[in-house]
Amino acid sequence: MSEKIVISPTSRQEGHAELVMEVDDEGIVTKGKYFSITPVRGLEKMLTGKAPESAPVYAQRICGVCPIPHTLASVEAMDDSLGIEIPKAARQLRELTLAAHDINSHAIHQFLIATDVVPENLFATAVNSVSEIRKTAQYVVDMVAGEGIHPSDIRIGGMASNISEVARKRLYARLKQLKPKLDAHVDLIIGLVADKGFPKGLGVTNAPTLATDILYGDRENFDLDRFTEIMPESWYDDPEVAKRACSTIPLYDGRNVEVGPRARAAVYGDFKERGVVAQHVARALEMKTALSKAIDILGELDTSAPVMADFDVTGTNKLGVGAIEGPRGMDVHMAQVADGKTQFYSCLVPTTWNIPTMGPATEGFHHEFGPHVIRAYDPCLSCATHMIVIDDEDRSILKNEMVRI
Amino acid sequence: MPYSAEIIVVGCGNILFKDDGFGPEVIKALGEYSKENPLPENVMILDAGTGGPHFVFSLPHEEWKKMIVVDIAEFGVEPGTIQKFSVDELPKGSYENIHSWPVNAPLHDLAEICEVIVIGCQPENVSAPDVEMGLTPHVKDAIPKAIEMILKEIGVS
């Protein structure tokens, strides 16, 4: 006799989602479905007709967790639409900002999973370690990008200003000091995840991995022609789930995918492992990669170099793509500018990519492991909700049709 | 380190959802006010948007002695009414639903480390999940009163 187990909302993540698992007599999940129940928002509609400079300012308000990746993806999409080549130093400062944010965000996730993997006697050690790393990482974002939450100095065309030589030296020294602490922290997390003794194969799926870069993001590696988007009722076989699901299902080459730290390590590194433990390990190791990158940039940065390109804001209606590898995966913003105004804007945010993959990832193991599988993706639903609204008056939603952007 | 100040005034809420933008709008207005009337050096003001729990409340700073949180609060009175709350009096759900933070009440933990007060304004219309900008008139008119209360809390005026 099969039974249905529903966890709603799933906990220790941003936004609201529901996990529905069909289980057999032994409690083993035979069918897992995960879907967002955070409702429709419609930010993209609001940006059309506005000045391009408005896009990053509003995009960074989509969610209180990933304001930095959204700001970067937004300016990158605008840069691309307007045909802007940003100066080298500006690119370095943007990369430095994202690397620091990555470290901060991954550390927050480790705080959220601490009750799953950290034994009581090590709890204080782990939490203090997370706090110290986060403070330093956020200090970098604050100094480099103008403000730590809503980075005001990341602008279309580059950055508002370069950092001072004094700031560069100070940040360089700070991050060098952080290195041994971060290395120890990463070892601690990887060790604790291993000690937890998750069953072998937990969370392993056959979904392909999708990433555009090892750390920052590269629009050249995102092929819009391979992307399609379908409505939830074409995806979920349970009509009740389909009706309640709030996000469209994005596919690449017609398949659901996995994005995030493990995907980046698999596509651009040598990382072969799959599943829950692999996701935690890849996320932890990526903190080291990000710190090395940040230290390298601070070592090389020319603080007297220009950071803002000359550009014309008129636009040619070219479809611009900004692909940023956010902590939770690939964050793609698309924009078209003509006559000095945004004509089209769209966001494909990280967790939306993972949603169709996360449910099936719970299958084959006891349902008690379901939430662990979900948390390994570090889902953030606040911005992952995305529906195509066709009627502004009654907000009715286009259904049953394949939609292409 | 970021946000080092003895007194930190944190505006919370989402400007994309009408009256939920009250906190950030108060910070903006306070910033304008402070150009003419500088605030004491130990005071920092911050528009945290919806990033308060993630980027501020969960990372206590050694220097903080007092935190003044500015936000909307549903307490069943006329829209635009402002009231000072202690953390213990916070209307239920104020940091769970609107800001969808999964860790319960980070402000309660923070209150053990420094003094925390909340300046709450009764909203008229929070448009979430629909994006609509701009405060409703009663809530907008409450900004000067909020600033007056904040100035009193930081010991100016």
Report how far Cα A258 is from the mean position of its chain's Cα atoms. 11
Radius of gyration (Cα) for chain B, nearest Å? 14
A-chain residues within 8 Å CB-CB of B48?
64, 149
Contact A64 B49 (CB under 8 A): yes
Report the pLDDT value the prediction gives residue B141, as an integer from 0 to 100.
Answer: 98
B-chain residues within 8 Å CB-CB of A394?
none
Report the pLDDT value the prediction gives residue B97, as an integer from 0 to 100.
Answer: 36
Q: State both tokens at B19.
A: 């009256």
pLDDT in tens, A201-253: 999 999 999 999 999 999 999 999 999 988 888 888 888 888 878 778 899 99
Of B16, B49, B54, the CB nearest to A150: B49
The mean pLDDT value for A294-306 works out to 98
Count A/B contacts: CB-CB distance under 8 Å: 85
Whole-angstrom distance, CA of residue A21 vs CA of residue A143: 45
- How far off is chain A from B5, nearest CA to CA, in Å? 14
Q: Does B62 touch chain A (CB under 8 A)?
A: no
Pick the residue of B3, B25, B50 with the most A CBs within 10 A to test the interface with A by mutation.
B50
Contact A148 B133 (CB under 8 A): no
Reported pTM: 0.90
Contact B59 A134 (CB under 8 A): yes
pLDDT in tens, B72-81: 887 788 999 9
Q: State both tokens at A293.
A: 């990158």
Contact B2 A108 (CB under 8 A): no
Contact A148 B3 (CB under 8 A): yes
| pLDDT score of A386 more than 50 | no
B-chain residues within 8 Å CB-CB of A62?
16
Report the pLDDT value the prediction gives residue B104, as an integer from 0 to 100.
Answer: 36
Q: Does B51 touch chain A (CB under 8 A)?
A: yes
Q: Is the dihedral of CA B56, B60, B61, B65 positive or negative?
A: positive
Range A178-212 burial, b when 16+ CB lie within 10 A, else e = beeebeebbebbbebbeebebeeebbbbebebbbb
Report whether the peptide linkage leading into residue A9 is cis, meaning its omega lies within 30 degrees of zero.
Answer: yes
Of A16, A61, A135, the CB nearest to B15: A61
Report the pLDDT value the prediction gives residue A196, as an integer from 0 to 100.
Answer: 94
Q: How many residues does chain B have?
A: 157
Residues of A at the B interface (Cβ-Cβ below 8 Å)?
Answer: 11-16, 38-43, 45-46, 58, 60-65, 67, 108, 111-112, 131, 134-135, 138-139, 141-142, 148-150, 382, 385, 395
pLDDT in tens, A363-382: 999 999 999 999 999 987 76
What residues are paired with B44 via a beta bridge? B8
Of B2, B59, B102, the CB nearest to A14: B102
From the list A353, A378, A374, A379, the residue with the least C-alpha distance to A363 is A374
pLDDT in tens, A334-353: 999 999 999 999 888 888 89
**In chain A, whose CA is at the least distance from the CA of B130?**
A41
| pLDDT score of A114 more than 90 | no
Contact B55 A16 (CB under 8 A): no
Contact A64 B50 (CB under 8 A): yes
Contact B55 A42 (CB under 8 A): no
| pLDDT score of A2 more than 70 | no
A-chain residues within 8 Å CB-CB of B13?
none
B-chain residues within 8 Å CB-CB of A39?
129
**In chain B, whose CA is at the least distance from the CA of A66?**
B51
ipTM at complex level: 0.85
- In this prediction, residue A384 has a pLDDT band, given cuts at 50, 70 and 90, of low
pLDDT in tens, A124-180: 888 888 888 999 999 999 999 999 999 999 999 999 999 999 999 999 999 999 999
Pick the residue of A11, A50, A61 with the most B CBs within 10 A to test the interface with B by mutation.
A61
Let me know: does A245 contact A195? Beta carbons within 8 Å.
Answer: no
pLDDT in tens, B86-115: 877 765 444 443 333 333 356 777 888 899
Does residue A84 or residue B155 have the better pLDDT? A84
How many Cα atoms sit within 13 Å of A22 on the Cβ side? 9
- In this prediction, residue A401 has a pLDDT band, given cuts at 50, 70 and 90, of very low
A-chain residues within 8 Å CB-CB of B52?
64
| pLDDT score of A281 more than 80 | yes
Contact A149 B56 (CB under 8 A): yes
Within A24-164, where are the H helices?
A: 43-47, 54-59, 67-81, 88-112, 114-117, 120-145
Let me know: does B114 contact B65? Beta carbons within 8 Å.
Answer: yes
φ and ψ at residue A322, rounded to 5 degrees: -115, 115
- How far off is chain B from A282, nearest CA to CA, in Å? 22
